[in-house]
């Protein structure tokens, strides 16, 4: 059996994994996307029995997102508390961390004891994204010693497509936020125009001055104005 045949088999497996991954990572909001990534990791990647995502926030806080099994809440928390383990390393320092045999891995002596006691024998941490205010890693778990010795091209492909899905979900989220902000500012301008008989330009200038003098963002000023007007309307209806 020649190298050409083996290479062809590898290429076919990679193609099949790519197709399965594309079907698994459906478009949606950020929470949906993160949940689909961990579910797809179990479905698509070889030897993966459980998966979760660790997010490191700008304040240094570590958070587990979208675990595929309740077991992972405790397993991930142990890594955060001990400041060691593949998922901790991947979220805070290294890009990819593989540990095919946790019990004999000298890098994580304290965490390994906790993981093995929970039934985890092998683990991989793969960096998913680096954002201005956060970092994220995909955590892969197996009960079988020797798993994840070579994730190779499939692992790299998975993290690449997952990162693209996260970026797309973030763009949608930012766009939705921008549309909500624009709509709220428009409502606030309309309220000022009606209340003080102003043109839209003068109403916007008035909002801008309030924002500047109070050192409060324009959308926050607008939200407060709209909310106050709605409360006043409700009170009038109740009194009548």
Looking at residue 183, its pLDDT comes to 82
Same domain, 117 and 162: no
Distance in angstroms (rounded) separating the CA atoms of residues 91 and 62: 8
What average pLDDT does the structure give for the chain? 81
Q: Could you count the other beta carbons within 10 Å of the beta carbon of residue 7?
A: 10
Residue 215 phi, psi (nearest 5): 55, 45
Structural domain of residue 78, as residue ranges?
46-150
Cα 165–chain centre separation: 10
pLDDT, mean of residues 147-151: 85
Looking at residue 175, its pLDDT comes to 59
Same domain, 27 and 82: no
Looking at residue 216, its pLDDT comes to 83
Q: Could you count the other beta carbons within 10 Å of the beta carbon of residue 71?
A: 16
The pLDDT tens digits of the residues spanning 164-175 come to 667 766 665 665
pLDDT, mean of residues 147-165: 73
Same domain, 126 and 165: no
Among the candidates 105, 130, 150, a domain finishes at 150
Cα 145–chain centre separation: 29
Among the candidates 102, 134, 150, a domain finishes at 150
104, 39, 88, 161: CA torsion to nearest 10: 110
């Amino acid at each position: 059996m020649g190298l050409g045949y083996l290479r062809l088999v590898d290429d076919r497996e990679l193609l099949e994994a790519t197709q399965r991954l594309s079907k698994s990572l459906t478009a949606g909001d950020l929470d949906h996307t993160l949940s689909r990534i961990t579910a797809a990791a179990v479905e698509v990647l070889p030897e993966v029995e459980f998966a979760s995502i660790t997010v490191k926030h700008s304040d240094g806080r570590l958070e587990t997102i979208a675990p595929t099994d309740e077991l992972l809440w405790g397993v991930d928390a142990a890594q955060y508390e001990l400041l060691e383990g593949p998922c901790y390393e991947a979220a805070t320092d290294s890009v990819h961390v593989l540990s095919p045999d946790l019990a004999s891995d000298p890098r994580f002596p304290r965490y390994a004891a906790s993981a093995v006691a929970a039934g985890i024998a092998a683990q991989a941490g793969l960096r998913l994204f680096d954002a201005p205010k956060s970092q994220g890693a995909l955590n892969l778990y197996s009960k079988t010693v020797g798993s994840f010795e070579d994730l190779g091209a499939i692992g790299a492909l998975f993290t690449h497509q997952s990162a693209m899905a996260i970026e797309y979900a973030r763009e949608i989220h930012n766009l939705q936020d921008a549309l909500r902000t624009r709509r709220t500012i428009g409502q606030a301008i309309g309220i000022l125009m009606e209340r003080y008989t102003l043109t839209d330009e003068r109403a916007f200038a008035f909002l801008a001055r309030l924002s500047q003098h109070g050192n409060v963002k324009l959308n926050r000023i607008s939200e407060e104005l709209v909310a106050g007007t709605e409360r006043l309307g409700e009170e009038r209806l109740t009194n009548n």
